[in-house]
Amino acid sequence: MNKDQVKGRLKQAEGKVKEVAGKLTGNKTLEQKGKVKNAAGDVQADYGDLKNDVAKSL
């Protein structure tokens, strides 16, 4: 795993925690921030996956 994969997975987890906390408390802003952070984590993890795949193919 490279650092982008790790950072992306951490962002996904943080985003999910915020999203669930927002749902439990009824805080729509926190829920939306969690969804955004989760999506950002998805993108970063996918980038890390792509980087890893390219490195393996060379």
pLDDT digits (tens, 9 = 90+) for 9-41: 999 999 999 999 999 999 999 999 999 999 999
Q: The domain containing residue 32 runs over which residues?
A: 3-57
Entry pTM:
0.88
What pLDDT shows up at residue 1?
A: 87
Section 5-12 average pLDDT: 97
Q: How many other CB atoms are found less than 10 A from the CB of residue 45? A: 20
What pLDDT shows up at residue 32?
A: 98
Cα-Cα-Cα-Cα dihedral of 33, 37, 42, 47, to 10°? 140
Q: How many domains does the chain have?
A: 1
Q: pLDDT class for 44, splitting at 50, 70, 90?
A: very high
